[in-house]
Amino acid sequence: MKIEIWSDVACPWCYIGKRRFETALEAFPHKESVDVQWRSYQLDPTLPDHYDGTELSYLSERKGMDPAQVAGMFAHVTEQAAGEGLNYKFDDVVVANSFNAHQLLHLAKAHDKGDAVKEALLSAHFEHGVDIGSRAALVQIGTDVGLSATDINAALDTDKYADDVREDFAEARAIGVTGVPFFVIDRKYGISGAQPAEVFGQALDQAWQEANPLTMVAANGTDAEVCGPDGCAI
């Protein structure tokens, strides 16, 4: 089973959705047969490499949201994150363009370290106030999970994975993704948003059953004797 997850490093619900999905996947009996692939998405591609302001000022000034409304949203999201074991610190968030972080994710995917880098980037951004637009920070995050600093710098110097990142953006538009996180199971089922773990679990079960239907086997085409709620066959 292949599960593609479109997500942005700068999306608070994406980290919460990741945790809820992981909870469902851990309880899924066939989890060893699931291939999870992280796909790139940017909520604000026009954001400069570094924005001189807080997350609150960014949303209020660039997005036109009421500061009080933003503060209330932060409180709600922080509470939801805490319910998943995450410690969000919006006051410490460094607002930065996530494009290079997505390039790092594609490099990590090529080395089978995509999930580890995704986790590290989200935690760095929302829990530790790390500047995900900083080259030094990206190198540190990548090397901490086993990537080569030489490979990271070479990829970012040459924009080696830039086209792959943009292809993810284009594919998201093509399949109708308008917000993240967005989960796609076997290119058949789509799940939008940080749904409860139970919803992810139901989707995994349904997709697996449809892809692996149970075939009944009977001798000479007949059923053998069974017992049921009303008694046993004689």
pLDDT tens digits for range 8-42: 999 999 999 999 999 999 999 999 999 999 999 99
Mean pLDDT by 10 residues, the chain (234 residues): 97 98 98 97 91 91 89 97 98 96 98 97 98 97 98 98 98 95 96 97 96 76 73 72
Calculate the CA 86 to chain-centre distance: 15
3-state secondary structure 115-171: HHHHHHHHHHHHHCCCCCCCHHHHHHHHHHCCCCHHHHHHHHHHCCCHHHHHHHHHH
pLDDT over 90, % of the chain: 85
CA 56, 62, 68, 72 torsion-angle sign: negative
The whole-model pTM stands at 0.91
Q: In what order do the strands lie in the sheet with 189-192?
A: 35-40, 2-7, 182-185, 189-192
pLDDT tens digits for range 36-74: 999 999 999 999 888 889 999 999 988 888 999 999 999
Rounded Cα distance, 91 and 88, in Å: 9
pLDDT at 97: 96
Task: Report yes or no: 137 and 94 within 8 Å, Cβ to Cβ.
Answer: no
| DSSP-H helix ranges across 12-98 | 12-27, 55-61, 67-82
